[in-house]
Structure 1
Amino acid sequence: MSQDLESGHEGYALQDRSSMATVLSKRRKIDQELSQVKRKQEQLQPIQQALFDSTTSRDDHTSRVQVDSLESEITECFRRARSLAADAKSVSDMSNPRIHEQLTYMSENIRRHIEEYRRVQRAFATQLETQVRRRYGLVHPEASEEDIENGVQNILYGDEQAFQVQGMRSAKANEARDAVLQRSTAIRKIVEDLQSLNELFEEVGELVEMHQVPLENTVKNVENTVENYQKSTKLLDRAIISARNARKYKWWILLVCVLIVAIIVAVVVAWCKINNKC
């Protein structure tokens, strides 16, 4: 029987070590993906600045294509990181606090990188939108603030006709139009990526949150078990003390009985001697 128990414990220990090794392997791969995100962000920053600073249609198009490509690669890195975290969860015993701690770290690390990237992208999109609004206003000097805002929003939604200038006679107007359209395309790409990243952010969080209640229940059960064990131990201690006291009382009662019998015997013997009957 003891050999079966020992083999069972060994099996659980091996399984636990195997699960932990798998989780740590996934964590290393996730860290690699997030390192790639950082490197690609560093590459993305000067290209985004080039798009912002460009003054010709050709430079606009070249920079915008490069920006779109790097942004797609970064989003794909986050998708792979999310898949690795999901794989780690699927092969692990989430009731194991050590494994749950590792998955929590992976989830929070991915979410932290996503949030940082989203912040940078929102700021860049705001810069581009400000530039689009300014260039739209230059080409439409007669437009009111409301007309400019409506025109810009229409362009950002993909309506190229919203930037039509009567005749488009000047090269300057054509350059402005092309610049606005390139930037509006870049903004739409950022918005699409941010939507995907929002979904990834939520999915990664759910990997841990969906197991939080079962884990809390497990911890609570352990706490209850410990509490019950402590109560049982106290009751057992009291029972032992009571048993010991009971044994002491029995000996005292026996001693008292013996003394009483001895006293009675002594009284009887004395009475017999006095009356010459013994």
Structure 2
Amino acid sequence: MRGALATSLETAGPSRRPRLTPVRLRLDLAYDGTAFHGWAAQPGLRTVQGELTAALATVLRRDDVEVVCAGRTDAGVHARGQVVHLDVPDPVEVDRLPRRLNGVLDPDVRVRRVAPAPASFDARFGALWRRYAYRVADDPATLDPLVRSHVLAWPRPLDLAAMNEASALLVGRHDFAAFCKRREGATTIRTLLELAWARDTAGHAVATVRADAFCHSMVRSLVGCLLAVGEGRRPPAWAGEVLAAQVRDAAVAVVHAHGLTLEAVAYPPDAELAARAEQTRARRE
């Protein structure tokens, strides 16, 4: 007899073990990137993806776990708001999964939340924007050894008004080739939604950088350009000139990774996820 249960299950092989339709899960992660060689798994190196995949394999008792992240952070970059999706073929106790994974993972990476997601949810291609923060201590009074792995120590005071004037020239949809490491066949056109500097409660200069997507080293290059403006070595207009040139400028430093943190990723409503993923996959022109 084939009833309602049989319509959602298939019989798998002689054991007649039911084969369930895969379930997509969303994981929200935070990690201290100091001891990681970036997100992406690399043989012989400790990476966030490698550690997470190993923990999932242990907890789920599967060796075929594959994860997709919202943003592939570089070596040394931190995250508070990384998002990952994966598909699991068997039912899992979602409420218990964060505690079980955190019991296996080292303390420098934490699973903050696990939730079922629609099949159309794609952590990478479904994102509307990603928001990063870059933190700089430019005053000896704000130097704190306890946060030295997350805040860049800068030897000269910064003029945030000049940096914001320069930042305004970079916001919008542009070819950011001057601020990216080119990859064969990849576009460097991005929409920079927000770039602004402000002081936090500790007195650090903090850049908020939000875009639909980022190319390799883009945020760190943008910050390097703006630091040159902030300390008076370059006028604010120089940032616009670098952007317009669309070629790498040796005068633009790619600043250290440890000041950078992925803070948040935003997604559209569930009904719009598939359309957003299709739009993102289309080559930017």
Q: Is the TM value for this pair above 0.5?
A: no
Name the structure with the higher strand share. Answer: 2
Name the structure with the higher helix share. Answer: 1
Larger Rg: 1
Q: TM-score range by the shorter chain?
A: under 0.3
Q: State TM-score, norm by structure 1.
A: 0.25
